[in-house]
Amino acid sequence: MKTFIKKNQFNYIKRCLNDLANNYKSCVDINVVEASKAYTQDKILNLFTNLSEEEREILNISKLKEASQIDSYLADLDNYVYGMATITSAQVSKLFKKEKKLKLPELNQEASKKVYLGWVDKASNKLFVAYNMDEKLIGMACRITNGGSSKANICSLCNCIHVDNEVIFVSPICKVSNAGEGGYKSIGFSICADSEKCNERIESVDNLEKILKDVNNIK
Ligand SMILES: [Zn+2]
């Protein structure tokens, strides 16, 4: 089976179809449900460019006639989903070579498809992120700070609103072009403490890529 759906695209489709399932359950007017289904179909297809006939058929939701079919459809669809390419501990070590006593993440990525790899090192009180951008592995080491606790607890990557302590405020260590001259840049944002859960929710990589470019001084 050839995978063609990115994990974050799948997360988006999953949310759209769960909304549709709620429509099936709560809406008695079949015309309204059908309109919602057509709208959902458009949203799904608009995620992609250059779909093959076969792929288009896989994404065709006209066969879904009731809410109970949606879970099994999503389970089937998951077979066509791919996450980030497997990375090795050597690659992670190289990415964060400035970090002393780096705690390596769990790397059993086959088990779960991921948009990005994220993990917390309690000893250094840092959160690490590794991500494949345009086939190149980039990352950021973020200090976990106590600041920002009064801010809205919205994860910058998955946009989920959390109750306290499920989201943490971090400040990544930024690369700057004028570091030798004492150049310094400071940014901060909120992020899910549990990257497994964040990976199940993140629907777009736009924010993630924007932050990573900013932190790594990539234009
Ligand atoms: Zn998140």
Element holding 85 (H helix, E strand): none
199 C-alpha to ligand 1 centroid (Å): 7
Same domain, 147 and 180: yes
Residue where a domain terminates, one of 82, 111, 134 = 82
Report the alpha-carbon distance of residue 10 to residue 76 in Å, rounded. Answer: 12
The CA 30 to ligand 1 mean position distance, Å, reads 35
The DSSP-derived string for 153-188 is -B-TTT--B--TTSEEEEEE----TTGGGT------
Q: How far is the CA of 157 from the centre of ligand 1 (A)?
A: 5
CA of 177 to the centre of ligand 1 (A): 29
Q: Are residues 104 and 211 in the same domain?
A: yes
Range of the domain at 182: 89-215
Average confidence score pLDDT of the chain = 90
> Is pLDDT at 1 greater than 80 in this prediction?
no
pLDDT tens digits, residue range 61-120? 999 999 999 999 999 999 999 999 888 999 999 999 999 889 888 887 566 799 999 999
Domains held by the chain: number? 2
Counting other chains too, the contacts that 19-24 makes at CB distance below 8 Å and 24 or more residues apart are 20/61, 20/64, 20/67, 20/70, 21/67, 21/70, 22/67, 24/66, 24/67, 24/70
Indicate the pLDDT class of residue 145, thresholds 50, 70 and 90.
confident
pLDDT score of 20: 95
Cα of 112 vs centre of ligand 1, distance in Å, is: 16
Residue 35 CA, ligand 1 centroid: distance in Å: 31
Instruction: State what percent of residues in the chain have pLDDT above 70.
Output: 93
Out of 34, 62, 82, a domain closes at 82
Q: How far apart are CA 59 and CA 10, in angstroms?
A: 11
Residue 195 vs residues 41, 77, 115, 158: alpha-carbon distances, Å:
29, 22, 10, 10
C-alpha of residue 127 to centroid of ligand 1, in Å: 13
Residues 49 and 105 both lie in one domain: no
CATH at 32: 1.20.1280.250
The answer on 152 and 95 residing in a single domain is yes
pTM of the predicted model as reported, rounded to 2 decimal places: 0.90
53 and 24 in a common domain: yes
Q: Does one domain contain both 186 and 117?
A: yes
